[in-house]
Structure 1
Amino acid sequence: MATADEAGGAVAGVEAGAGDQGGGGGGCLGEVRRAARAVLFLAAVALPCLVLYSAAVAPAGRFVRPAALLWPGRTAPPPRSDVDPTEGEDARLERVLRAAAMANDTVILTTLNSAWAETGSVVDVFLESFRIGEDTRGLLDHLVIVSLDLAAHRRCEQIHTHCFALATDGVDFSGQKNFMSDGYLRMMWRRIDFLRLVLAKGYSFVFTDTDIVWFRNPLPHLYHDGDFQIACDHFTGDPDDLSNSPNGGFAYVRSSAATVELYRFWYAAREKHPGLHDQDVLNLIKRDPYLAQLGVRIRFLSTDLFGGLCEHGRSLSTVCTMHANCCIGLRRKIDDLGLMLQDWRRFMATPETDRHFVTWSVPRNCSMKKLER
């Protein structure tokens, strides 16, 4: 935009040019000078305004988002998921679930606290796996990150579209929670109660721990007739065998009155088994006659497709997800998750005829010893 000084300088240049022409007509020349000065002043003020107006209005008369003006060539940042501090938690949850849901009212859910939300930590590896996997990038549109503390929620809003802050009165879920510590158990049980609420709202879900990498879209590999499907630390080979060892880090649950009651019963069972992990309590109640009366069909997912460091298939040609389970220590977990991504990139860069030669390089930092309960 031209300043007043620049406009004045331009007028002086015109006057100098007129003087060089020499010769008479002094009164007329004064009129010309005054007219030139007025025209240039109006141009200096009006032209920038015209440019800004043209930039703000598209050719068809459509308004262009201010973000497109502030950051040319970049898309606007994703909308914040929580914009109204006066909105109740239930209304916020409904809004976020509706925005993320697939056509069949299914959402993908994960939970996050500040220890796993730091830059370069678990959540960054988790999201990167969606970006580089087969038919997984689009699933990010249906992923809701449920943050368990304020720091995790702030990070979520920087890196993802669908974020939900889950408040728990009197409990601080920030920081690393050591396996089976009191804080860890509270966090896991809070998760079970939250998932019950999602089902009660009519949404089916795929729940995934954040320390799971997604290499392929797992949805086509789920059973069509399983109300409650869950990954395993050990898979016997029979998806209906209750002797399978369930792992709550990955599960698909179809919303129904029966599955809502399953989660209510599961959550209530913690009082009969104090000090136990939700996964261990599920192992204890999976044969309970009450679950059979509910009519919920429980099916267990093969570790060939839904693997982990506890047990996984050898072939990268079939794996959908890999879990950094059987691993103690955040740094070790992050390192081995990063190696999983390297293995995948190496697999994808290999000619198809030779891909069967590509094998896992994990576990390298994590222990394969079965964790003591």
Structure 2
Amino acid sequence: MSTVRGTQFSHIPPESSGLSSLLKETATEDNTVIITMVDREWAKPASLLDLFLESFRIGERTKHLLNHLIVVALDNQALRYCRRTHPRCYLHTSSGQKIGSVNPDGLIAGWNKKALVKEILDLGYNMIFTEADVIWLRNPLMHCHPHSSISVACGFSSSDQQHVTAENTGGFFYAKSNEITIDMFKILNVERVVYPSTGNQSFCDIVKREDVIRGLNMQVTYLDDDKFVRFCQPNRQNQSQIATIHASCYDDTKSKVQYLKLLLQDRKM
């Protein structure tokens, strides 16, 4: 990925100081961090978090990326377990509700996640957001377009962008810290007040909106769904090229753990 200079801000609110320090020690040379989110259901022994971290350890050219990963805990129990398994954990104290353990609602489910993404971009950091029910088989960063403000896995090609749902998202996006992406999240924050029902839009829902994309002149890259796939995606081709696999097609956490565990076991053989 090309080096990208993040937007600089001279005034950092006090509540951001802990996050700012963690971002500084975690970021790559081009100010990029990897973020995932878990709650108590996703962060416990033999959980999705364990499988997620294991995929980094055994994937192709992914182990070093653990140095640039921050696991965001949405409750204290998740934070305690995270600290047992990963050195870079952060409690998102502004989150009033935990992430939906039974059926996560897309890439960014709810306003608390959107607020955290905006905060990270405001601090001048580019970010990879990945759901914790995604396993990384190969380094996906090389597929993120360096000239796009957004690179996102939505389970379709650039010529077929209709009917995006949580089930056909790839659980992965890259956002560059610049005026365009920050303005986009400012718009979404206004909508929080005017249109509260839009809080559960996935990131794929958002980038499909022509009013947002055209209004901001935003360049979006839709990542290849042959490389960013769903576990239940039929007739997966070129498995040697797959970067990530998302368990979005399973409704309950137990099934996600069961099938992702089997996939990782096959991977080790």
Letter in 2 for 1:216: R
**Counterpart-to-counterpart distance in 2, 1:204 and 1:297:** 15
Of 247, 262, 267, the residue aligned with 1:339 is 262
What SS does the corresponding residue of 1:245 show, helix, strand or coil?
Answer: coil
Letter in 2 for 1:189: W
Distance 1:187-1:302 versus aligned 2 partners, 3 A rule: closer
Per-residue deviation, residues 67-89 of structure 1 (Å, max 9, x unmatched): xxxxxxxxxxxxxxxxxxxxx53
How many Å apart are 1:284 and its aligned residue?
Answer: 6.2
Per-residue deviation, residues 130-183 of structure 1 (Å, max 9, x unmatched): 0000110000000001111101111111111111111137x3428x644379xx
In structure 2, stretches of 5+ residues that fail to align are: 1-13
Give 1 or 2: higher helix fraction: 1
What SS does the corresponding residue of 2:171 show, helix, strand or coil?
Answer: strand
Whether the aligned pair in 1 keeps the contact of 2:35 and 2:129 (CA below 8 Å) is yes
Structure 1 outlier segments of 4+, above 6 Å:
none
Of 169, 179, 189, the residue aligned with 2:103 is 179
After TM superposition, the score normalised by the length of structure 1 is: 0.62
How many Å apart are 1:339 and its aligned residue?
Answer: 1.6
Quote the residue 1:151 is aligned against: 77
**Counterpart-to-counterpart distance in 1, 2:260 and 2:207:** 32
**Counterpart-to-counterpart distance in 2, 1:290 and 1:323:** 26
**Counterpart-to-counterpart distance in 1, 2:104 and 2:66:** 30
What is the root-mean-square deviation in Å for CA atoms of aligned residues?
A: 2.7
Whether the aligned pair in 2 keeps the contact of 1:248 and 1:279 (CA below 8 Å) is no
**Counterpart-to-counterpart distance in 2, 1:314 and 1:185:** 24
Quote the residue 2:93 is aligned against: 167
287-296 or 208-217: bigger deviation: 287-296
Distance 1:339-1:267 versus aligned 2 partners, 3 A rule: farther
**Counterpart-to-counterpart distance in 2, 1:336 and 1:304:** 19
Letter in 1 for 2:248: N
What SS does the corresponding residue of 2:174 show, helix, strand or coil?
Answer: strand
**Counterpart-to-counterpart distance in 1, 2:266 and 2:108:** 34
Aligned pairs for 1:211-230 (under 5 A) are: 211-230=133-152
**Counterpart-to-counterpart distance in 2, 1:185 and 1:307:** 14
Quote the residue 1:89 is aligned against: 15
Task: Please say which structure displays the higher CA radius of gyration.
Answer: 1
Aligned pairs for 1:140-289 (under 5 A) are: 140-168=66-94, 171-173=96-98, 177-179=101-103, 188-232=110-154, 234-235=155-156, 237-238=157-158, 242-243=161-162, 245=164, 247=169, 249-270=171-192, 271-272=194-195, 274=197, 277-279=200-202, 283=205, 286-289=208-211
How many Å apart are 1:277 and its aligned residue?
Answer: 2.2
Whether the aligned pair in 2 keeps the contact of 1:185 and 1:276 (CA below 8 Å) is no
Whether the aligned pair in 2 keeps the contact of 1:130 and 1:214 (CA below 8 Å) is yes
The higher-RCO structure (CA 8 Å, 6+ apart) is 2
After TM superposition, the score normalised by the length of structure 2 is: 0.84
